Structure 1
């Protein structure tokens, strides 16, 4: 299987990088082809220009590569911190530029864009791993867990992927080495469960 792994965290020493590396290693160990992108490290430009909005617009080489890979992916893994209940700006820009018409979704004939799009992604599953310094109960009760809604309903659900699983790890800032090691084992087990070894 072909799996896209998208990482969005500016600190190369972050726990997010540990999560992404663990997911990548588990996927490769299971025999999958991995498209790995550290958006900060590769300097991905998050700004969507007016010229790039229309379906079929000319894209720069890096964005075109991302689009081709996400369209071909049998699975997707997203790793990012929870910043103000949202993904980091570089990842939001990646969504704007890569999860685009003709690649991830399309509107049916006669729909001018005001309706519900038809999903085009081939991915059978999406795993989203987040880190947070907010307690899970507070996230749910006070903020309504916006990241769950964003990834499941506002993005991948509209692109044809019904199996979207998200796991939030926290509180990271006060976590112990043992807790983080346990979380990384959980990442590997989750990846194995959704993308088992190729037969």
Structure 2
């Protein structure tokens, strides 16, 4: 199965890098074809220009390549920290530029953009792994877990991905080596569950 994995964390050696590395290794161990992007390492340009917004816009070949990868993926894994209840700006820019009309969704004939779009992604499952320095109870009670709504409802649900799972690991800043090892084992189990070995 062709899986797309995206990492968005600026610090090499971060726990986000460990999560992404663990997920990618497990996917490959299970026999999947993996396309992996570390957006910061690759210096992905997150700025969406006005010229690029129209569905039929002429895209930079670099963005065309990313669009083809997400269009062709049968599964998606995203890894990023929780910053202000949102993904980092570089990942938001990836969403703006790549998960676009004609690639990830379309408006049906007669709909001028005011209705609910039709999802186009062929991916059946998307997983988002997050890290956070906010305790889970506070995240839910005070902030309402905005990342769940963003990824599940506003992005993947809208684009036709039927199975969605998100896991938040934290509190990172006070976590022990043992806790982190258990979390990485959980990443492996999650990948095994949603993207089991190819037969």
Superposition TM-score, scaled by structure 1 size = 0.99
The size of the alignment, in residue pairs, is 199
Alignment of 1:1-199 (within 5 A): 1-199=1-199
Q: CA RMSD of the aligned region, Å?
A: 0.5
Question: Structure 2 CA distance, aligned partners of 1:197 and 1:178?
Answer: 27
1:109-142 deviation per Cα after TM superposition (whole angstroms, max 9, x unaligned): 1111111000000011000000000000000000
Question: Structure 2 CA distance, aligned partners of 1:107 and 1:163?
Answer: 22
Secondary structure at the residue paired with 1:159? coil
1:54-74 deviation per Cα after TM superposition (whole angstroms, max 9, x unaligned): 112111122111100000000
1:16-50 deviation per Cα after TM superposition (whole angstroms, max 9, x unaligned): 00000000000000010001000001010000111
Secondary structure at the residue paired with 1:4? strand
Question: Structure 2 CA distance, aligned partners of 1:131 and 1:125?
Answer: 20
Question: Structure 2 CA distance, aligned partners of 1:77 and 1:69?
Answer: 13
Question: Structure 1 CA distance, aligned partners of 2:60 and 2:24?
Answer: 26
Question: Structure 2 CA distance, aligned partners of 1:39 and 1:61?
Answer: 16
Choose 51-60 or 6-15, whichever is displaced more. Answer: 51-60
Unpaired segments of 5 or more residues in structure 1?
Answer: none
Question: Structure 2 CA distance, aligned partners of 1:158 and 1:6?
Answer: 19
Question: Structure 2 CA distance, aligned partners of 1:183 and 1:173?
Answer: 14
Superposition TM-score, scaled by structure 2 size = 0.99
Choose 91-100 or 47-56, whichever is displaced more. Answer: 47-56
Structure 1 residue ranges, 4+ long, deviating more than 4 angstroms after superposition = none
Question: Structure 2 CA distance, aligned partners of 1:2 and 1:59?
Answer: 24
